[in-house]
Amino acid sequence: MASTTEYFDHVLILYRSVCASVNLVMRDGRPERALLKLNARSGDFDLYISEIVFPNELRKYAYYVLRQKKVIAGFDNAPDPEMLKLKYGPEYVQHRLEPLPHMHGVDKMTATLMDCMDAEQFLAWVQTNLALRVDS
């Protein structure tokens, strides 16, 4: 991956080029970790991006798409105990606190395991699966 600064710059440029409005909520770079939080509006959907990047390229993220304050989908890699059980079965306790990429469905009523995602892939998912109008 490019440097964290370049990655965050890329994310901002991408979202600003695609979404009608982008609100940079937080951007904080420290020697040991960097944080980006932004909200964006595209079509009828509100997108919420939160991400921490560490020097060893570990990323922790939470991306949500909402419509009228209702969660349509969410993607994160928090160590969700239900997801850990699903992936590791009875041995899941040995993996507690381990980042685990997964997706939440409408109103977070469902959850499924998936591959790791980044902010660009999240935007592509939204555009593909929710047929967004592109405001450029």
DSSP state of 114: -
Rg (CA), the chain: 15
Q: How far is the CB of 81 from another protein (least distance, A)?
A: 5
Letters for 6-35 (x = contact with another protein by CB under 8 A, - = none) are --------------------x-x-x-xx-x
Q: Return the residues of window 38-97 that contact another protein according to CB under 8 A.
A: 48, 50-52, 60-62, 64, 69, 71, 74, 76, 78-82, 96-97
116 or 134, CB closer to another protein?
A: 116
Compute CA distances 59 → 24, 119, 129, whole Å.
Answer: 19, 11, 24
**Beta-carbon-side half-sphere exposure of residue 103 (alpha carbons within 13 Å):** 16
Compute CA distances 56 → 10, 104, 120, whole Å.
Answer: 19, 27, 20
Q: Contacts with another protein: how many residues (CB under 8 A)?
A: 29
Q: Which residues are near another protein by CB under 8 A?
A: 26, 28, 30, 32-33, 35, 37, 48, 50-52, 60-62, 64, 69, 71, 74, 76, 78-82, 96-97, 104, 107-108
